[in-house]
Amino acid sequence: MYSNILVPMALDHGIGQTALGVARALLSPGGTITALHVYEAPQGSVSAYLDEEVVQAAFQKAKETLEARVKDLPDVTPIIVKGHSGRTIIDVAAVQEADCIVMGSHKPDLIDYLLGSTAARVVRHAPCAVHVLRDPG
């Protein structure tokens, strides 16, 4: 059983709710669950063509979506941060002293074999146990 579980959630995939259920099953009495969404702001030349208002509106929409997903789960605290998914998940786990990360992973595409998936990066570098759930889709 774990006392401090981090659940990274990609808001465009449905496995986050399953991951929250698994986290709840692994949670020690009195423990905490944090639902994390990492907002990856547009980078490089793309960002030159976007108004700051558009980027801020997208961030706000992501925040509202995350909060809506966990609003009926009083034992889950939502947080959203800006950054690169893999690195930021690892950093947040370290700062929050998480003892477990429960996250979903999609079926790998060719690019994942070349560059590696976010889940693979987290498994290799996380400061704690990692439970990876395969998205059946």
Quickly state the pLDDT bin for 94 (edges 50, 70, 90): very high
Q: Which two tokens stand for residue 66?
A: 């995350």
What is the domain-level CATH number for residue 41? 3.40.50.620
The tens digit of pLDDT for each residue in 10-25 reads: 888 778 889 999 999 9
115 pLDDT higher than 50:
no
Residue 111 has pLDDT above 80, yes or no: no
Which letter does DSSP use for residue 11 in this model? T
When pLDDT is cut at 50, 70 and 90, the band that residue 136 belongs to is low
Instruction: State which residues form the domain around 104.
Output: 2-134
Q: CA 120 → CA 89, 117, 124, distances in Å?
A: 12, 5, 6
pTM, entire model: 0.89
Residue 46: exposed, middle, or buried by beta-carbon count in 10 A (0-12, 13-18, 19+)? exposed
Domains in the chain: how many in total? Answer: 1
- If one counts every other C-beta atom within 10 angstroms of the C-beta of residue 108, the result is 12
Whether the predicted pLDDT of 116 surpasses 70? no
